[in-house]
Structure formats: structure tokens, C-alpha cells
Structure 1
Amino acid sequence: MSDQLFPKLPLKEWIETFVKFLTDNLGVIFDGISSGIKSVTDGLVWLLSIGDIPGSPYILLAIISLIAWRVAGWKTGLFSLIGLALINNLGYWSETLDTLSLIIISVLFSIIIGVPIGIWMSQKDSVQSIITPILDFMQTMPAFVYLIPSVVFFGIGMVPGVIATIIFSMPPTVRMTNLGIRQVDGELIEAANAFGSTTAQRLGKVQIPLAMPTMMAGVNQTIMLSLSMVVTASLVGAPGLGEIVYRSVTQIKIGLGFEGGLALVIIAMILDRITQGVNKKQA
């Protein structure tokens, strides 16, 4: 005899029916998205490898170190040089390129989708009240759950990892864009309105420039969350440093896991310092 006062909602069956409906009717669209993302990631890996020319790791190493030096100072540039040289020495350069491509694609899509949504939220309280619970859901749902529909819709490999990473890492960009624009001094907005600015002009010339440091802080959080998804994405076949860490866990290889984890830490620190440097220049 059941202890429940009311019949159990068939939520599991509803979700599975809905997913089956999507796969049966929108399979062509999902295949197209998968092919497009895979082409972009493959192209980005080829670009990061400088067309596979001899010595390409050292060229990219020097480029990243130079960018870090120009944006975040000589200490960050030196750390980038030493850290990336160590990764190359350990033999994880190709995995690093895969990881960087996953992060870059995920962050770019998060910005392209998240910034307009954040701007929309900042202009309408009703939109904010609707989207905020959705963002809460996206951030609190365990990351592993995102992998299930991603695999169903997009198969195994880099693509489901990218999709799951975008869903998991986008909320900070949306939230901080909304927050940054809402925190712009009301007197400045009134002055812009007094000069006859349209909504687009006010956003483009006053609110977004002043909100840029806050928006960059959101982008920084998105990058860090993307990095945290690297190992999780490896569970569905996404290549990269996460695959090294995952293999070390399944094979109980402590040394391998330490090397893969160290490489991830180095990448995380470099990206964090670079984005913080950009943020300071914007402030």
C-alpha cells in the first residue's frame, strides 16, 4: 500500500516523451548543429596549431605569452611562458589545444547568447523575473544531468561537451550584464535621455561602456566554469586535458592525474589573469 496521499506525477515519463518527440522531429536540426560545432572546433584546433607547421607549439606559446604580458603585465607573461613550456614538455600540447578550443567556443557562444539576454533583462523587470529562475535552475542543476540530453541529441564527442558547457557556464555572463547595466548611475541615464538619446544610443554610448567592468567579471566567471566542465565533458568523449584526468581516475594513475590536473591549473591561471587584466584596462 502506498504511503502517498496523491498519485505520483509521471514527470520522468513526460520528460522522456518530450525528448523522444524532439529527437524524432528535429533530428535533422540537431545533426546540422552538431556538424557546425564540430567543424568550428576542428577549425579552431587547426588554427591554434598554426596549420600544423613545424614548431607551431612554440609559436602559439610565444603569442599567448606576449598577449599575457601586454594585457596583464610581465609577471603573467613570464608565468604563461614557463607554464605552457612545461605543458609542452610533459607531452600534453595536443590535449591543451582541444581544451582551449572547447573553452573558447563555449565562452564565445555564452557571450553571444548571454549578453543580449542580460541587456534584455536590464530593460524590463518582467523579463528579469522570468529569466532569473531559469538561470537559478541552470546553475544549481548538477552538471552531469546536462550530459544526458546532450548525448541523446548530439552523440558522443566534443559537441555534447560544448553544449553542456555552454548551458552550465552561461548564467554568470547573463547575470553580470544585467547587474552592470542596472548599476549605471541614474543621473547619467537622465542626462542621456535629456539629450534625446534613443534606447539603443543610451545602451551603446552610456550604459554598456560603464557596465563593461562588471560584464567582464561575468565573462571571467564563465571561463572558470567552462574549465570546471572540462573533466565532466570527458565523460561523453570530449577530448582534451579532462580526458587525461578521467583516464587517470579510471586506471588509478596518480602521476598521470597530477600532470593533467597541473596542466588544467596552468591554463586556468593564465586565462584568469588575462581576463582580469582586460577588466582592469576597462575600469
Structure 2
Amino acid sequence: MKAFYGWLFDGVTHWVRVLLNAVEAVFMGTPWIVTSLMLIMAAGKLAGPRMGVFTAAVLLYLALFGFWQTAMSTISLTVAATVICVVAGLPLGIWVAKSKAGAALVTPMLDIMQTIPSFVYLLPAVAFFSVGKPPGILATVIFAMPPMVRLTALGIQHVPASTKEAALAFGASPRQLLLKVELPLALPSIMAGVNQVVMLSLSMVVIAAIIGAGGMGFIVVDALARTQVGRGLLAGIGIALIAMMIDRVVQKINRM
């Protein structure tokens, strides 16, 4: 298959790399003090002063133990995968909610995607896209996208029928109904999907270090291979702190 569709796989890899390079330019290409202030101020603005202090503590931990670059790489991979999941998952969720054919086609695929062990996703990623960061991101996207699709569809389907009938009675077109009624009312469910995507992406990019994605996962894998328990434990704590930091900020955004 790769012999016949290599041009397609190469094109996908190229555009994933373009997106990743843009994200890495923000998190890794700027001075650490600028990145730190940007993250602390964003966390404080979105989630309150306490979250700003917690973010500062997390960043200090990562810097003191020499994990700064790898942590920023992990965050970059997570952000890139999340962007792809949201951009692809939102229209898929709308299609599932609006079309019986879409639901019949996509739902079984989502069921399969959510039952396959995470390590299995690495096999087709390596087979079709070789090794490195883009294959790691693509494996992460496949692993993390189902909640985005399901929760988007669920939010739209649970918009009250009376609300939709009222909008149609006032002359709303199907497009206006979707953009001005259904999506705004489904936003809490959609944001819950985004939260799930972020956390699943973070967990998967750590595993994707096995195929050369790098980041904090590489430190854990390397420490495991060298039996460096302390180094692996410190990296694991760093990953947990990053997850807590991201989760708290996204949850706070959901409540806004």
C-alpha cells in the first residue's frame, strides 16, 4: 500500500510537520523566560491566581531537574495532536448527530478505536509514516479523537427540540440553526470532549516516544532501558504535573 500511496502518506507527514514546527516555534523557539511568563499569565488569566502559582511551580520543577526542553516538546506534541483532533472531530461529530448514515458509518469505527490497546496504534503509524514525531502525532490523533466526535454529537443531539422548533419558526435556516443555536447550546459537551482529547493526547504522546516522538516519554523509556529508577520517577512526576496543569486550566475554561 505504501508503494502505491506513498505520495499521500508523505503529504500528510509534511503538513503534520508544518503544524508541529509552528507549535514548537512558540514553546521551544522562544526564550524560556518568555515561554514561562506566557504560560503563567495564561493560566492565571484563565483559571485564577492559584493556578498561575501552580503553573509556576510546575515549570520550576521541570527546569530544576533538566526537563525543560523535553517538557516543551511533549506540550508541543500534545497541542498539535489536539488541534488536529478538534479540527477533524468537530465536523465528524456534527455529521454523526445530523445524519443516520454518518452515525451508522462512524460509530462502529469509534467503538473499534476505543477498544484497541494504545500500543497497537504505533504499528500502522510506523508502517505507513516511518518513525519520528509526525507518526507519533498521527497515532495520537487516532487514539484521542473518539471522545471529541462522540461528545460533539451528544451535545447537538441533546439540544431541546422546542428550542430548535422556535428557531425554525423565526425563519432560521439549517446553517443558522447549527451555528447560532445547536453549537452554542452544545458547547459544554464539546468542551468536555476537548478536555478528554487533551488528556488522552498527553498520555499517548508519552507512549509514542517508543517510535521516536521524543519528549518526556523518551526519558521514561530510556530510564527503563537503563534501569535508572530515580530518573524515570522524576520524569513520571513531571508528566503527571503537566497533566494536572493542563487539566485544571481546561476544566476552568469549561466552566466559563
Residue 70 (structure 1) aligned with residue 49 (structure 2): no
- Specify which of 15, 35, 41 is matched with residue 20 of structure 2: 41
Counterpart AA for 1:212: L
Matched, 1:270 2:245: yes
Superposed displacement of residue 98, structure 1: 1.0
Matched-pair identity in %: 39
Between Structure 1 and Structure 2, whose CA radius of gyration is higher? 1
For 1:115 and 1:38, the matched residues in 2 are separated by 22
Deviation string, structure 1 residues 116-138 (Cα, Å, up to 9, x no partner):
00011111233213211110101
Q: What are the within-5 Å matches in structure 2 for residues 122-133 of structure 1?
A: 122-133=97-108
Conserved 8 A contact 2:97-2:156: yes
- Is the 1:156–1:236 Cα contact (8 Å) retained in structure 2? yes
The corresponding residue for 1:215 is 190
Aligned equivalent of 1:241, options 216, 222, 226: 216
Q: Verify: 1:28 aligned to 2:7, yes or no.
A: yes
List alignment gaps of at least 5 residues for structure 1: 1-21
Residue 190, structure 1, aligned to residue 168, structure 2:
no
| Separation of aligned partners in 2, 1:47 and 1:277 | 23
- Give TM-score scaled by structure 2 length: 0.97
Give the number of equivalent residue pairs. Answer: 256
1:60 equivalent to 2:35? Answer yes
Distance, in Å, in 2 between the alignment partners of 1:66 and 1:235 is 33
Which one of 51, 63, 84 corresponds to residue 109 of structure 1? 84
1:212-240 superposed Cα distances (whole Å, 9 cap, x missing partner): 01100011001111111122101101110
* Contact 1:241–1:260 (Cα < 8 Å) also in 2: yes
- Structure 2 unaligned spans of 5+: none
* 2:74/2:206 contact within 8 Å kept: no
Q: Give the letter for the 1:34 counterpart.
A: T
In 2, Cα distance between equivalents of 1:28 and 1:129? 30
8 Å Cα contact 1:177-1:218 kept in structure 2 = yes
SS at match of 2:143: helix
CA contact (8 A) 1:158 1:237 kept: yes
Kept in 1, the 8 Å contact 2:96–2:102? The answer is yes
28-37 or 224-233, which deviates more: 28-37
**Larger RCO (CA under 8 A, 6+ residues apart):** 2
> What's the CA shift for 1:59?
1.5
Moved over 6 A (4+): none
Q: Retained in 2: the 8 A contact 1:69–1:76?
A: yes
- Give the corresponding residue for 2:149: 174
How far apart are residue 185 of structure 1 and its match?
A: 1.3
Provide the C-alpha distance between the structure 1 equivalents of 2:25 and 2:171, rounded to a whole number of angstroms: 48
Give 1:77-156 correspondences, 5 Å limit: 77-156=52-131
What secondary structure sits across from 2:199 in the alignment?
helix
Q: Does the residue aligned with 2:159 lie in a helix, a strand or coil?
A: coil
Q: Distance in 2 between matches of 1:82 and 1:279?
A: 23
Q: Which residue of 1 aligns with 2:205?
A: 230
1:256 aligned residue = 231
Q: TM-score, normalised by structure 1?
A: 0.88
Determine if contact 1:231/1:246 at 8 Å carries over to the other structure: no
Counterpart for residue 139 of structure 2? 164
Alignment RMSD (CA, Å):
1.2
Structure 1 residues 130, 33: closer, same or farther in 2, change over 3 A?
closer
CA contact (8 A) 2:44 2:51 kept: yes
Contact 1:68 1:80 in 2 (8 A): yes
**Alpha-carbon displacement from aligned partner over 1:153-200 (angstroms, at most 9, x marks no partner):** 111110110010000000000000000111111111010110111111
Report the Cα distance in structure 2 between the residues aligned to 1:150 and 1:212, rounded to whole angstroms. 32
